[in-house]
Structure 1
Amino acid sequence: MIYCVSKRMEISAAHRLSLSYESKCQSLHGHNWIITVYLFKKDKLNADGMVFDFTHIKKAIHDRLDHAYINDVVPYNPTAENIARWVVNQFDECYKAEVRESEGNVALAIDETKIVGIENLVM
């Protein structure tokens, strides 16, 4: 059996991008981000009967990013793609993160090494 959970969080945060070309995004600016985290467990839930406690997900992601300067939290250029990568790396159980910086701008990070053999089930 495979168990999957997701947690959707709304975050207001600022960042500044370091880019190889001129862009308004090089200036300090903010977004009302929507971040969705996807986690799974194969065969067995934890001792509490969960894939992962939603409260712990909120503490690790929302509480660290909300009303923060993301450049101080994420150790890479804080593009939506890199923020998604950072989210996936926060949990062993996390295989995918979606970062929506606006209605039309969405980035996904998927760690395919975590879902080998079950890709069709969790995507």
Structure 2
Amino acid sequence: MLHQFYPQVFHSYSYELNKDMQISAAHYIPHEKAGKCARVHGHTYFVNLTICGDQLDDSGFLVNFQHLKKWVHDRFDHTLLNDHTDVFNGQNSEDFPTTEVVARKIWEIVQDHLNVLPNKPKCLQVFVRETPTSYVVYRPKREMK
């Protein structure tokens, strides 16, 4: 069982859900400045999603944990991330499968699914640990009103 602490996102929502997952995947960074990361190599990524909202759905969930696993873990586990050309590509650095981009792309995937739910939960943070000593947190910018 994973027992990790993640950076907190301060918010005013009534419910906060966190889902941990492990994803074993390979990748490479298609750029000459990537050094040895330009070669295919693998990681066991530890991913945490923070999802918030004020209303539960008709089954009593903010979001069903099984859906989150399907959207992220089942899609990427035991794959070469670069092969997911609908998500990553080797032409634009904003789409290379770096840990930063992986975190952002996971947020985009999850939030796209959340947007169609009637209770409108929000993904506030995606935490991706690539190695025991390196991790990235992605939080979308809040819209200024």
What TM-score comes out, normalization by structure 1 length? 0.85
- Structure 1 residue 46, shift from structure 2 partner: 1.4
Partner AA of 1:50 in structure 2: F
Aligned residue for 2:58, secondary structure, equals: coil
- Structure 1 residue 22, shift from structure 2 partner: 4.9
- Greater Cα shift, 7-16 or 89-98: 89-98
Q: Distance in 1 between matches of 2:110 and 2:43?
A: 24
Q: Does 1:107 align with 2:126?
A: no
In structure 1, stretches of 5+ residues that fail to align are 118-123
In structure 2, stretches of 5+ residues that fail to align are 1-12, 89-94, 112-121
Q: Which deviations, in whole Å up to 9, do the C-alpha atoms of 1:1-53 show, x marking residues without a partner?
A: 521101100111000102351500000000011011111112x1111111110
Q: How does 1:1-123 map to 2 (within 5 A)?
A: 2-42=14-54, 44-73=55-84, 74-75=87-88, 76-92=95-111, 93-113=122-142
Q: Distance in 1 between matches of 2:67 and 2:36?
A: 35
Name 1:121's counterpart in structure 2.
none
Show structure 1 runs of 4+ deviating over 3 A: none
- Structure 1 residue 91, shift from structure 2 partner: 2.5
Inter-CA distance 46–106: structure 2 relative to 1 (3 Å threshold): same
**8 Å CA contact retained: 1:14, 1:70:** yes
**8 Å CA contact retained: 1:95, 1:112:** no
Percent sequence identity over aligned pairs: 31
Aligned residue for 1:56, secondary structure, equals: helix
Q: Which deviations, in whole Å up to 9, do the C-alpha atoms of 1:47-94 show, x marking residues without a partner?
A: 111111000000000001100111122322000010100111123321
- Structure 1 residue 95, shift from structure 2 partner: 1.6
Q: How many residue pairs align between the two structures? A: 115
Over the aligned positions, Cα root-mean-square deviation in angstroms equals 1.8
Structure in which a larger fraction of residues adopt strand: 1
Name 2:9's counterpart in structure 1.
none
